[in-house]
Amino acid sequence: MTSEAPEHRRRDASATKAALLRAAQELFTERGFERTTVRDIADRAGVNQALLFRYFGNKEELFHVVLAAESRTLIAEWPAEQVLARTLARMLDPDTGGVQDGAWLAALRSSGHDGAADVIRKQWGQDYTRVLGSLTDAEDADLRVDLVLAWVVGLGLLRTVVRKEPLVSADPEEVARLMLRAASVLLERVDTDPVG
């Protein structure tokens, strides 16, 4: 009987962490960092908010984990040349209204908060900058990557937050094709075929 109790607790801890991550990702995507409270996350996950502090430390650390999980999954699943095309495909997916890649939308909605903006800079600096930077041999690779990321963030902002036309109703594959062609000027090894 005593050997089952620790295993049961481990499974519950794992399930609780997963529920907190899922709830946090949904709420950060819907509301942004500042308008999401620890209580909101815990309520949506169906757990006591003390567990969020136990497993993640604080809301900023949880935000970091949410961003890291999505970007690392994308980066791990695809070769560097296709990461930008895959990111755009997820952002522009018409079946999800552009919210399939919740990390990007959560970042957009949270960028006005100093702590969240710092997490966003660190996360993109660690993951996307490294991967996208590998697509050019130029001496100013970091600047080139930042310009591409600025285009992607601007696309997300205008399309999903501002809801600017004609971008909102534009064909996602055409938007991706144009973005990838523009990005290939700066990152010469980027795959310019949109994911359709």
> Residues 93-118: pLDDT tens digits?
766 544 445 566 666 555 555 555 56
Question: How would you class 55 by CB atoms within 10 Å of its CB: exposed for 0-12, middle for 13-18, buried for 19 or more?
Answer: middle
**Distance, CA of 70 to CA of 147 (rounded, Å):** 21
Residue for token digits 């004609």?
166
Number of neighbouring beta carbons within 10 Å of residue 129: 18
Is the model more confident about 6 or about 183? 183
CA Rg value for the chain: 18
pLDDT over threshold 90, residue 12 = no
Of 135 and 9, the structure prediction assigns the larger pLDDT to 135
For residue range 77-97, list pLDDT tens digits in order: 889 999 999 888 888 876 654
Residue-averaged pLDDT of the chain: 81
